[in-house]
């Protein structure tokens, strides 16, 4: 992969200062970049690497103090986004998988679209429908009547249970399970747990990406729904009958309990937990390690366990950290009050 720096500047609408004919061979972090690499700088914490970087060119904000004349610069409003755009344009990976491997089992009733590829030991069961330009990597299992839309990419060791529906351009990373049974049980008269059949499905809409080892449970009735554009990180649990709205992002080790409805354009940071049967409004940010115990009805940032509006929660956290000081101050005030009381008592006795 190589490209001309002026082409990259045009791609991101940037102002090129330096060698317009410079050829870029790679993209790299500023502290690791070598000769011929393009890097970027957008956080002050990385300014310290500017003097030592071996990069040939760098994306910076307009007005950046260009201390090194041996570097070429592209000025852009947001170097981080510009770098990502260049990365996508020039270096998007092409996953090599063609044809249908002889070791794969494909039921005669299954339908495979044009230019789709199936890897080693894949199982595609009765009634499955696979769209065009789909890649299904090794050891993945699709049970009966699963549907996979055009252009989707399913990596190795993925399990998709019966009747689940996967949209177009969906990416599913290794180890993920879609459509496992929801956690549904009741106790009989002897207190023994009895399993409740989970007869619903999972529907994953277009342009969703699921990280490694994500578990999305099938609905008890109806469907667990992941709407268009949702991005889910590794090790996330989505319980039965959950609804996740469009363009929501869920970070690693988060867990969503059953029948909870999450709005659109939300961000759930790492290790967030939501109890069941609540609703989260659109445009909500829930900060890391928060526990949500009731519905959130208005947009904003939330933090804590139980989660509160972030501004109030952080004030509360500050007070909690200061409790030892408060204890000392209260003890001092108590001693002062005690001493004053004794002095007043003596004064009264003397009068």
Instruction: Let me know if 240 is a catalytic residue.
Output: yes
Burial class of residue 256, CB neighbours in 10 A (0-12, 13-18, 19+): buried
CA distance 199 to 277: 19
Burial class of residue 210, CB neighbours in 10 A (0-12, 13-18, 19+): buried
CA distance 131 to 153: 11
CA distance 180 to 219: 9
Q: Which long-range contacts (CB under 8 A, 24 or more apart) does 240-246 make?
A: 240/182, 240/183, 240/184, 240/198, 240/200, 241/182, 241/200, 242/217, 245/282
Give the HSE-up count for residue 346: Cα atoms under 13 Å, Cβ half-sphere.
6
Which candidate in 107, 138, 240, 277 is catalytic? 240
> Can you say whether the dihedral through the CA atoms of 200, 166, 268, 284 is positive or negative?
negative
CA distance 171 to 234: 13
Which residues does the annotation mark as catalytic?
Answer: 240
């Amino acid at each position: 992969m190589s490209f001309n720096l002026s082409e990259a500047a045009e791609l991101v609408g940037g102002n090129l200062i330096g060698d317009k004919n410079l050829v870029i061979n790679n993209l790299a972090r500023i502290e690791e970049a070598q000769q011929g690499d393009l890097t970027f700088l957008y956080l002050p914490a990385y300014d310290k690497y500017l003097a030592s970087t071996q990069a040939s060119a760098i994306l910076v904000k307009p007005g950046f103090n260009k201390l090194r004349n041996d570097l070429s610069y592209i000025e852009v409003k947001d170097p981080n986004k510009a770098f990502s755009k260049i990365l996508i344009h020039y270096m998007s990976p092409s996953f090599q998988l063609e044809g249908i491997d002889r070791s794969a089992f494909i039921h005669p009733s299954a339908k495979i679209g044009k230019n789709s590829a199936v890897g080693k030991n894949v199982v595609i069961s009765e009634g499955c429908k696979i769209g065009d330009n789909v890649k299904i990597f090794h050891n993945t299992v699709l049970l009966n009547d699963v549907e996979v839309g055009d252009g989707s990419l399913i990596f190795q060791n993925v399990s998709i249970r019966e009747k689940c529906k996967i949209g177009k351009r969906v990416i599913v990373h290794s180890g993920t399970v879609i459509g496992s049974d929801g956690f549904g049980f009741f106790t009989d008269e002897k207190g023994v747990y009895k399993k409740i059949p989970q007869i619903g499905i999972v529907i994953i809409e277009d342009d969703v990406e699921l990280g490694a080892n994500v578990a999305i449970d099938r609905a008890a009735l109806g469907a667990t729904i992941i709407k268009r554009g949702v991005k889910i990180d590794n090790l996330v649990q989505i319980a039965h009958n959950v609804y996740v709205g469009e363009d929501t992002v869920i970070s690693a080790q988060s867990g969503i309990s059953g029948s909870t409805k999450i709005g659109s354009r939300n961000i759930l940071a790492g290790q967030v937990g939501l109890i069941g049967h609540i609703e989260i409004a659109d445009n909500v940010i829930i900060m890391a390690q928060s526990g949500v115990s009731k519905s959130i009805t208005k947009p904003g940032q939330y933090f804590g366990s139980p989660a509160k509006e972030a501004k109030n929660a952080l004030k509360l956290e500050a007070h909690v950290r200061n409790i030892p000081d408060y204890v000392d101050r209260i003890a001092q005030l108590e001693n002062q009050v005690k001493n004053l009381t004794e002095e007043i008592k003596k004064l009264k006795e003397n009068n």
